[in-house]
Structure 1
Amino acid sequence: MESALKPFRVLAYIVGAMLLVLCTAIVLRYGFDIPEPSKIVSPIHGFLYMLYLVAVMNLGMKARWSWSYMLGVMLAGTVPLLSFYIERRVTARVQEAIA
């Protein structure tokens, strides 16, 4: 489980930060008619989110999470700031299971 935890943690922070950047780019696109940033950020965030999903699946399978819990962790990458909170909760849960 420890080997799956580190990639999850890294990707949770990256996806969370990229989601904030994406939200800013969307505000620029629709609020200020500046579409270029969202054209660049959107595919990058999409790719990183897919990697996050793989990391969650990997950790979830090794930790024997229920499918509903795994789905909740996956959806945390779609709500700004939630991935940071969920990362801390998941890390604590996994470290408790290891100990």
Structure 2
Amino acid sequence: MGAALTRYRVIAWIVGVVLILLVVIGMPLKYGFDDPIVVETIGPAHGFLYMVYLVAAFDLSRRADWPLKRMALVMLAGTVPFVSFYAERRVSRWVTTDTRTPQPVAS
């Protein structure tokens, strides 16, 4: 599960940074200065990266056996600026806590 967590953490940071660039730089340029070049460039990249984020979040959630609600909330975290960073920290804590807890032995 460590590799799935690493993949998720990397893509969460990338999606978060690209989304912040899009919102903080691209949107003001497009709507304030009528220059859509940043949005036209970064927008499609963010869309593609968000799809990769969804796959990584789904993979991690299935390996960690999360409930559907938790999985959906983690997936939605990539759509709100700065929330993906918070979610990445929470997810890392959940996964490392769950892997340290001894699992009951089935008889």
- Using the size of structure 1 for normalisation, the TM-score is 0.97
Q: What letter corresponds to residue 57 of structure 2 in structure 1? A: V
- Counterpart in the other structure of 1:49: 50
Task: Report % sequence identity.
Answer: 48
- Counterpart in the other structure of 2:69: 68
Structure 1 or 2, whichever has the larger Rg, is 2
- Counterpart in the other structure of 2:88: 87
**Divergent runs of 4+, >2 A:** none
Unaligned runs of 5+ in 1: none
Q: Which has the higher helix share?
A: 1
- Using the size of structure 2 for normalisation, the TM-score is 0.90
Q: What letter corresponds to residue 42 of structure 1 in structure 2? A: G
Unaligned runs of 5+ in 2: 101-107
Cα deviations by residue, 1:15-70 (Å, 9 ceiling, x for unpaired): 00000011120121011111111100000000000000000000000000111111
- RMSD across aligned C-alpha pairs, in angstroms? 0.6
Stretch of structure 1 that moved more, 42-51 or 26-35? 26-35
- Counterpart in the other structure of 2:5: 5
Q: What letter corresponds to residue 75 of structure 1 in structure 2? A: L
How many residue pairs end up in the alignment? 99
